[in-house]
Amino acid sequence: MHGRDFLTLRDVSPSELQLLLDRAAQLKAAQAQGTQHRLLKGQSLAMLFEKASLRTRTTFVLGMTQLGGTAIDLMSEHTQIGVREPIPDIARNLERWVDGLMARVFRHTVLNELADSTSIPIINGLSELEHPCQTLADLLTIREKRGELEGCHLAYIGDGFNVCNSLLLGSALTGMHINVATPAGYEPNMDVVDSARRLAKNNGGTLELGFDPVAATKNADVVYTDAWISMGLENEAKNRREVFEGYRVDTKLMAHAKPEAIFMHCLPAHRGDEVSAEVIDGNQSVIFDQAENRLHTQKALLVMLLRGDSAFCEIPT
């Protein structure tokens, strides 16, 4: 993966994804033991933000710092992507200074244009199409809680937006079974669905789409939801709350999953909308484990892209 872009989970193979998760677990264990792992000493990451961020901003800055590198926060008012100067010019400036670029954008086409304009690795920190870094953390969390990913049943309830799209691909790459329930008209991206179906067929997983949250949740190992009103969709808030009313994950819905099922949410969450307080704050919730694992999986990703897998031999086993 050295030198490659990470714009979508379609950019990695099943074996590369498993290796990323293994390396993330290795870095997490090293940190817990107090082992220094300055694998990116002297390297730098620029970060472009069009959208507000807590987890993505913090974990990429902290990740680069813990790895011995430098993260440069380029807030939207300084870059004005595509307004103050063309996207290719931004990319060609940055590649003369930094080793990699993470961008959190409204339009996925911005990521494609950045990638087409520069030779340094471009990382998708979130777009309207996918949130692949979140799915890396989700998969590591599921593996930690369940022991393995292959054969795991994941129910996704709610809006078939970027997080759902990446979960479809992540599940397909790891042989998981994913069942998605959305209101009509809010299904995941069909191009992503087609890719995920092909991957699932090759890796022993399955993918089902439907409109019934109860049917999707039945016997699930994992129940996952996301905000009904994502950034940029605030003008649709009233209508979305009406449309999604039957898709709230509450204790009644969780009762259809396995008794040991875990609840997941990428955050930020809106208690009383997509999830009840009893569920998100209850014993089955692993939302802060997911948030923590953003740090470890992104560190593994950064090392793989900026130095390659051989760098990990520097960590004592």
3 burial (CB, 10 Å; 0-12 / 13-18 / 19+) is: middle
Of residues 23, 104, 265, 296, which has the active-site annotation? 104
| 309 part of the active site | no
3-state secondary structure of 142: helix
Of residues 226, 290, 296, 307, which has the active-site annotation? 226
For residue 284, report the phi and psi dihedrals to the nearest 5 degrees.
-85, -10
Q: At what angle do helices 190-203 and 14-32 cross, to 10 degrees?
A: 90
The CA distance from 246 to 285, in Å, is: 20
Residues sharing a CB contact under 8 Å with residue 168, sequence separation 6 or more, in sequence order: 178, 180, 188, 192, 193, 196, 207
Of residues 294, 296, 298, 307, which has the active-site annotation? 294
| 134 part of the active site | yes
Of residues 152, 266, 273, 298, which has the active-site annotation? 266
| 294 part of the active site | yes
The CA distance from 136 to 291, in Å, is: 11
| 26 part of the active site | no
Q: Kind and range of the H or E element at 78?
A: helix 76-79
The CA distance from 98 to 91, in Å, is: 10
| 164 part of the active site | no
Of residues 55, 108, 131, 240, which has the active-site annotation? 131
Residues sharing a CB contact under 8 Å with residue 94, sequence separation 6 or more, in sequence order: 46, 101, 118, 120
| 108 part of the active site | no
Output DSSP code: residue 286.
Answer: -
Query: Which residues have a catalytic role annotated?
Result: 104, 131, 134, 226, 266, 294
